[in-house]
Chains A and B, each alone.
Chain A
Amino acid sequence: MDLLSSVKMAWQSLLANKMRSFLTMLGVIIGVGAVIIMVALSQGTASGITDRISSMGSNLLTITAGGSSGPIRGVSTARLTNADVEALKTLPLVKYVAPESSINSATIAAGSSTWTTTVDGTSPELMSIKNWSTELGEFFTESDLSSTNRVAVLGSTVAANLFKSTSDAMGQTIKINGLSFNVIGVLTTKGSTMGSDQDDIIYIPLTTAQQRLLGSTTVRSINVQATTEEALTPLKEYITTLLRQRHRLASTADDDFRIRDMAEILSTVQDTTKMLTFLLGGIAAVSLLVGGIGIMNIMLVSVTERTREIGIRMAIGATTRAILTQFLIESLVLCFIGGLMGVLLGWGAAEILSVVASLKITVAPWLVALSMGFAIMIGVFFGYYPARKAANLNPIDALRFE
């Protein structure tokens, strides 16, 4: 018995019960669709984050106050100060140093519109380190820093929310927690990562932030860019030595600061997103499994219903293998078509999500192959038992079945 006739036969019997076939397939459609959308979503998120991190450059170090063992921020007495920043600038192998200190939810007012966002005090080097550019105007300069000028550079989201159009923002005065600032630039849109909008932020000179808004000379974190990637390891040691000295730590004391490089952050993020992918994919795979059980259920019903037909087929010469093949192919066709529709569903959902949630979601070919393969495996696995049952029927009993 040839394969083509078997497939045609299977197709006919599935067409004979269109609604039932479709409902049976639905389990597989949803299962495969879910696997695709879940995995694509977490992959898309992961690649978005890693792209952003690697675009910042792999030779970047971030120093934060507080030792690696003390995550409770409020308790830590350790501080990084402007003096630390100046000292770091004198180290060899350093290309740029950009301190940051932020006010997390500042109230911004421009005319009658208000907005709440993060205000980040920093230095012009941040632009070079992060490779950012301005859409309008300029970032503030070293002289703005030294004269504590009240100038602000807006992220595009802030600009869009405060002003009718981004271009209106230029030269306007905004109030940050009641203090007037002059808008001198708007940053190019950077997009969002993991649902957090990278453009919902205002940059002002660090000195201005410290003196006018924070009232302290500490900095929250310091970005240090090394001259090359190879310089990272020695530079980390220089920084450790320098900061321990400056903070007057006893040789037995733990560091009261933490240095992280981008590679480290990247691998942490990748580990997390890999876990996320496995978790979501796993949950979706369970639904595919449930779909498979649905297929087995319906195939068993179908074998019972068609007992007489099986008897006829056996009487006119169908061997055990021919019957087995026929029912196995029926279940395979169900899973294959269900899988294809599931791929389309998942793909469509991914496309819609990538537009709606402005995430970069791509359905990788290997993902399509994997979920189709899984669906076909389900078809064979859950189709075998009913097919076996059909093939093992006794032709006499089957013929007599009413």
Chain B
Amino acid sequence: MSENLITLEDISKTYYGAGEPVYALRAVSLQINNSDMLAIMGPSGSGKSTMMNLLGCLDKPDSGTYTFAGQDVMGLDKDQLANLRSILIGFVFQNFNLIGRANALDNVCLPLIYAGVTSRSKREKRGREMLNMVGLGGREHHFPRQLSGGQQQRVAIARALVNEPALLLADEPTGALDSRTSEEIMFLLCDLNREQGLSVVIVTHESEIGLHCQRIVRLNDGQVISEESVPIRMHQAQAQG
């Protein structure tokens, strides 16, 4: 795999609603490499959500060039985007977005069904591995309502990673968690990034979260206003005591 995972060049996105058109993104360029850990930050209305939708291939930009793992995203249709999401992207949301009437294992296995893994035993084996990895071994048959917020987010992370994606896209992953649990989740994401070389993009407005990442991209008014490296990341700081 090439060093370069995502390239955005001169990306624009405009929403035409009832009133004035909203220029959500204006000629944004951004590059994300494999094994990057990136925070996208900015106040509300800065274009964060639009950025997240575009990076997650839930939507396509109006203009510009967009390459994801060597594929030209601009030319893909709805189902091709779905297939790309299925294989290359894992989503983690603020409110976990687990399916309530399915247990933890079924939630984790769901992307495998959509990715076309027809063998049930193969799916469940893989699902169990993922739950073990996020530290939830033994809770396969718990339903989301029986799990704490942090546990639910772990299930969501396991679900996001079950298809071994190239990118984990997290939208305010700690927004609904207390500070201790938040930190645990962030350390889990950092570990995944360091140990498995997973690219992680976190969209957040909490500055603390940014300190776990290698890079912080700040958006305002639909444009990138700064891009900075984090000199000492949180886990390094803690390791140094």
Contact = CB atoms under 8 A, between A and B. Distances in A.
A399 B114 contact: no
Contacts of A314: 58, 82, 85
Nearest to A321: B79
A316 B159 contact: yes
A395 B97 contact: no
Contacts of A399: 58, 93, 97
> Chain A CB within 10 Å — which of B82, B99, B111 has the most?
B82
Contacts, number: 70
A316 B88 CA distance: 10
Contact of A319 (B58, B59, B83, B118): B83
Nearest to A6: B113
A5 interface: yes
Interface string B10-41: 00000000000000000000000000000000
Contact of A318 (B56, B82, B160): B82
Nearest to A15: B101
B116 interface: yes
B78 A315 contact: no
A319 B97 contact: no
A396 B57 CA distance: 10
A388 interface: no
A356 interface: no
A313 B159 CA distance: 11
B182 interface: no
A395 B28 CA distance: 23
Contact of B118 (A2, A13, A309, A318): A2
Which interface class (under 10, 10 to 19, 20 to 34, 35 or more) fits B? 20 to 34
Interface string B75-92: 000110011011100110
A1 B97 contact: no
Contacts of A9: 113
A312 interface: yes
Interface string A154-179: 00000000000000000000000000
B53 A396 contact: yes
A25 to B, nearest CB: 19
Contact of A320 (B53, B58, B82): B82
B111 A316 contact: yes
A6 B82 CA distance: 18
A313 B110 contact: yes
A251 to B, nearest CB: 85
Contacts of A5: 113, 118, 120
Interface of B: 53, 56, 58-59, 78-79, 82-83, 85-87, 90-91, 93, 97, 99, 101-102, 110-111, 113-116, 118, 120, 159-160, 163
Interface of A: 1-2, 4-5, 9, 12-13, 15-16, 308-309, 312-322, 395-396, 399
Given A316-B86, A395-B59, 5 more contacts: A5-B120, A309-B99, A316-B91, A317-B87, A317-B115
